[in-house]
Amino acid sequence: MTDTITEQVEQATAAASGAAATEQFRSKQRTGTADSDTKRVDTLVSELLTAAHDIIRRHKVTYAEYDVLKSWLIQVGEDGEWPLFLDVWLEHVVEEVANENREGSKGTIEGPYYIPDSPRLPAEATLPMRDDEDGTPLLFQGQITSVDGTPLAGATVEMWHADNDGYYSQFAPNLPEWNLRGTVVADDQGNFKIHTMEPAPYQIPTDGSCGRLIAAAGWHAWRPAHLHLKVSAPDHQLITTQLYFKGGSHVSDDIASAVKPELILDPGPSSDGNGREVTYDFVLDKA
């Protein structure tokens, strides 16, 4: 089965994935705003440039190296890989700063493969998937409460993740539009049960500019298997997070540096003998 799926998506490329991620980001920005003024921009850009100047001086960067950098930066844009580059190597620090005062559940990066408005599903639901979806069945369940312990009726859990070959729907060809994506609406006690398949570890695309950087630096390109989630409720702060699997490959050396101890799941055998299950509760901060 895995060979069949791999054959279906073997044409997935960094350029195609990057183009989709770039277009999705641009769509989000058309409806978003950023609070900034000239003093703030001056401070941030000036300090960024000063840091770059310091690196050039300390390491005596040559014109040949400078020209390689310019060529690579141009190619990142042509490949559409700026969302991938920024989300892999910078977003985890932005998330850390943005959420440093939260009392509730831990968050982590969104990544480049989020798509809004996934199909709405009841409190116990199976994510959309192919009839012959490969992988180990997983029941992911829990409760959503406020920081004071109040159950949050009707809270939503958006989940999306890669398939058993490491591909995301809408970012690789020949996958159903909403494969392994859905928005589950919790019951009146904030409880939810999501049936899905365990994702696999995967490499970020390596045939584009980010891959060339990884090869040049001698890094690996792997992300550990993970579930993406956005959990929200009225009058509460949305939490964006990823959950990983205890003992999984690259949990300790995620290329995106997004793993936190609080985000590691330890599933056990399913009560019905079909796959595995795990309970993980979410606590949301007041808005």
For 92-121, b where at least 16 C-beta lie within 10 A, e where not — what string?
beebeeebeeeebbbbbbbbbbbbeebeeb
Look at residue 25 and tell me if it is in a domain: yes
Q: What is the mean pLDDT of residues 263-272?
A: 96
pLDDT confidence of 5, banded at 50, 70, 90?
very low
Look at residue 240 and tell me if it is in a domain: yes
Question: Is it the case that residue 240 has pLDDT exceeding 70?
Answer: yes
Assess contact for 152 and 236: CB atoms under 8 A: yes
Q: What is the mean pLDDT of residues 3-19?
A: 51
Q: Which two tokens stand for residue 212?
A: 């060339």
Which residue segment(s) compose the domain that 273 sits in? Answer: 11-287
Which pTM does this prediction carry?
0.86
What does each C-alpha distance from 22 to 17, 81, 87, 110, 285 come to in angstroms?
9, 7, 12, 14, 31
Q: Which two tokens stand for residue 174?
A: 């020949």
Look at residue 118 and tell me if it is in a domain: yes
Look at residue 255 and tell me if it is in a domain: yes
Look at residue 4 and tell me if it is in a domain: no
CA dihedral 41, 21, 231, 253 (to 10 degrees): -90
pLDDT given at position 205: 86
Q: Which two tokens stand for residue 26?
A: 């641009």
Question: Is it the case that residue 1 has pLDDT exceeding 50?
Answer: no
The CATH number covering residue 61 comes to 2.60.130.10
Question: Is it the case that residue 32 has pLDDT exceeding 60?
Answer: no
Q: How many domains does the chain have?
A: 1
